[in-house]
Amino acid sequence: MSPVVKVPTGVPGLDRITHGGLPKGRTTLITGKSGAAKSILALQLACHFARSGLKTVVFAIEEVPEDLIDSGDNLGFGTSALVANGSLRFADLTRLPDAATIVTGDYDMGGMIHRVEMAARDFGAQALVLDSATALFSPRPSEERLRSHFFHLIDAFRRHGLTAVMTAEAPDDYGPRTTLGVEDFVCDAVLVLRNLIDNERRRRTIEVHKYRRSAHQKGEYPCTIANKGLMVFPFGTQSSFETSEPSRFSSGFEGLDSMMNGGWLRDSITMARGPAGSGKTTMAGMYARAGALRGERVAYYGFEETRPMLLRNFASMGLPMDELVKQGRLLLDCRYPEATSPEDLLVELRRSLEDFRPSLIVLDSISSVAHSTSPRGFRQFMVGFASLVREHSRSALLTQTTNDVKEDERTAPFLSTIADAIIALDYQRHGKSLVRTINVTKMRGSAHSDDAFRLRIQPGGLRIEELQEPQA
C-alpha cells in the first residue's frame, strides 16, 4: 500500500496531529456544532492552499463571498490579494434570503457536480472548499438519495484530483459527526471541532476523528482563534535540539546552585512549590533577573500581582528590574487568568517564543491558572505549555502555591510528570521564629542534595544556610 500524500495546512499545530497535513486529492470533512469555527478553519485552509501554489475554489453556500473575503482579510489570511492574483476564486451558491423554496420533482445534484467539473477545468482548480454540506443538502432529500448524491459529489472531487475540504453541522459535541450521517464511509479524513462550556468558560478543542490509511495523534487537543486564525496546541512535542552534555546556568544565588550540583539544567522545566509566603515569587524574580543580567532574554508572566506592584516589590527587595525591562532583556507581562482563557495564554506564550525569543520563561503562579479553569482545562494548559517549551528548547520556572508541600495525590503526580526538577519551599514556627526551609525533591539527569536547608528572605533576595535542629 502506497503512503498517503499530504498537503500541509499552514494551521499552527494541525500538521503535527495529522502527521503532515490533509490527504492530497481526497476529501476532508470538518464537523462541529454552530460556533465551533468550522468556516474559519475552512477559509484558513483555502487561503493557505492558494498561497502555497494550489489554485483553490471556495463554494460559498452559507455566507456570500464578499463577507468571506472580509473575514479572511480581517484574520490576516490575505484573502482579497489571493483573489486578485488569480490563485483563489469564490463561487456564490448562497440562497437569496427572501427567495421561496419550491420543491418539485426528484432531488438532483447534477448541476452542482457540473459546476465542480467546470471549476476544475476552466480555473484549473487543484483544491476546493465547500462551506457547508449541511446547507447544500437543505431541504434534505430522503436518506437513500442523500447518500447517493453525497457519494457522487465526493467521487467528482476525487476524479478531478481535487484536494477537497467540506464543512458540516454536528447535532452534538460527542454524538453523530453530522446531521447528514454519511461522512464515515465517504470522506478520507474527519476533523471534529468543539466549543465546550467547561467550568462556566468556553474551551475549544479539535480531534482527528478519522484519517484513512494514515496514522494520526489521537484524542482532543486545545485550540483557539487568534488574530491569524485557528491555532492548535499538540501534546508531547519533542525538541529537535540535541546536545551531548547538559549545560547549566546559575539560579541567582549560590546556595541553591550547590544544592543542584552546579545550577539549573538548561532546557528544563523547574517547579518551585510551597505555601504562600515561602519565597516562591522572590526566587522567580532572582531567576529572571540573573538571566537578564547574563544577557539572556527572559519572559516573566505574573498572574497574581499587577506590573507596577511587582516591579515595586522586587525593587524594595534589592532586585531592581526597571532597567532590564527598558533594555529589552526582560518581558514582564502581568494579567489575571480569569480575564482570558488558558488557550489564549498559550497563544501569547507561543507568540512570545517566536517573536521575543526568550531563553528563560517564568510562570508565577500556575495555581492562579488552575483556579480560573477546570481540572481538565488546567491539565491541557500545562501539557500544552510544556510542549511549547520543549519544542523551542527553552528553560522555564513555574511556581505553585500549595497548602502542604506533600500536596494531595490528585495534583502532585500529574505535575511531577511535567517538571524536570521540583524545589520544595516550606516554613514552620518554632516559638517566636518562623523558619523557612528549602530542599530539592527531584532533579532529572542530575545529582542533587538530599538535605533540607534554611531559607532566609533578606535584602538582595534569598540566602541559604545550614538548618539547625530546634532546641528541645
pTM over 0.85: no
Query: Can you tell me the distance from the alpha carbon of 355 to that of 353, in angstroms, rounded to the nearest whole number?
Result: 6
For the purposes of burial, counting CB atoms within 10 Å of the CB of 194, is it exposed (0-12), middle (13-18) or buried (19 or more)? buried
Q: Are residues 258 and 353 in the same domain?
A: yes
**Residue 332 falls inside a structural domain:** yes
Pairing assessment for the beta strands 421-430 and 433-443 based on DSSP bridges: antiparallel
* Residue in 340, 332, 285, 346 with CA at minimum distance from that of residue 313: 285
Mean pLDDT of the chain: 86
Q: Are residues 183 and 258 in the same domain?
A: no
Is the pLDDT score of 311 beyond 60?
yes
Q: Are residues 18 and 103 in the same domain?
A: yes
Q: Are residues 211 and 264 in the same domain?
A: no
- Cell reading at 59: 463554494
* Residue in 449, 443, 403, 410 with CA at minimum distance from that of residue 426: 403
Range 362-387 average pLDDT: 88
Q: Are residues 199 and 278 in the same domain?
A: no
> Looking at this protein, which amino acid is placed at residue 441?
T
Q: Are residues 279 and 207 in the same domain?
A: no
**Residue 217 falls inside a structural domain:** yes
Q: Are residues 227 and 259 in the same domain?
A: no
**Residue 237 falls inside a structural domain:** no
- To the nearest 10°, report the CA torsion of 121, 127, 129, 134: 80
Span 150-186, pLDDT tens digits: 888 899 999 999 999 999 998 888 877 777 766 556 8
Pairing assessment for the beta strands 453-458 and 461-465 based on DSSP bridges: antiparallel
**Backbone phi and psi for residue 182, each to the nearest 5 degrees, phi listed first:** -130, 0
Q: Which residues pair with 306 in a beta bridge?
A: none
- Residue after which a domain boundary falls, among 205, 232, 259: 232
- Cell reading at 366: 500556575
Q: Are residues 215 and 272 in the same domain?
A: no
Q: Are residues 270 and 166 in the same domain?
A: no
Domain range enclosing 290:
248-465
Range 102-125 average pLDDT: 75
Q: Are residues 227 and 288 in the same domain?
A: no
**Residues 6 or more apart whose Cβ sits within 8 Å of residue 292:** 298, 321, 324, 327, 329, 330
**Residue 438 falls inside a structural domain:** yes
- b/e per residue 333-366 (b: at least 16 CB within 10 A): ebbebeeebbbbbbbebbebbeeeebbbbbbbbb
Q: Are residues 70 and 179 in the same domain?
A: yes
- Cell reading at 239: 525538541
**Residue 471 falls inside a structural domain:** no
Q: For residue 175, what pLDDT is reported?
A: 78
**Residue 472 falls inside a structural domain:** no
Half-sphere exposure of 406 (CA within 13 A, CB side): 0
- Cell reading at 308: 507596577
Specify whether the CB–CB gap between 194 and 377 falls below 8 A.
Answer: no
- Residue after which a domain boundary falls, among 207, 232, 257: 232
The region of weakest confidence among 127-136, 205-214, 296-305 is 127-136
| 134 or 89, which is more confident | 89
CATH of the domain at 259: 3.40.50.300
Q: For residue 194, what pLDDT is reported?
A: 94
Q: For residue 134, what pLDDT is reported?
A: 83
Please, which pLDDT band fits residue 128 given cuts at 50, 70 and 90?
Answer: very high
Q: For residue 472, what pLDDT is reported?
A: 47
**Residue 238 falls inside a structural domain:** no
Is the pLDDT score of 125 beyond 50?
yes
Query: Can you tell me the distance from the alpha carbon of 259 to that of 246, in angstroms, rounded to the nearest whole number?
Result: 17
Is the pLDDT score of 287 beyond 60?
yes
Span 21-71, pLDDT tens digits: 999 999 999 999 999 999 999 999 999 999 999 999 999 998 999 999 999
Q: For residue 441, what pLDDT is reported?
A: 92
Chain center to CA of 65: 30
**Residue 241 falls inside a structural domain:** no
Percent above pLDDT 70 for the chain:
89
Q: Give how many domains the chain has, as a whole number.
A: 2
Q: Are residues 221 and 290 in the same domain?
A: no
| 6 or 3, which is more confident | 6
Q: For residue 298, what pLDDT is reported?
A: 97
- Residue after which a domain boundary falls, among 172, 201, 232: 232
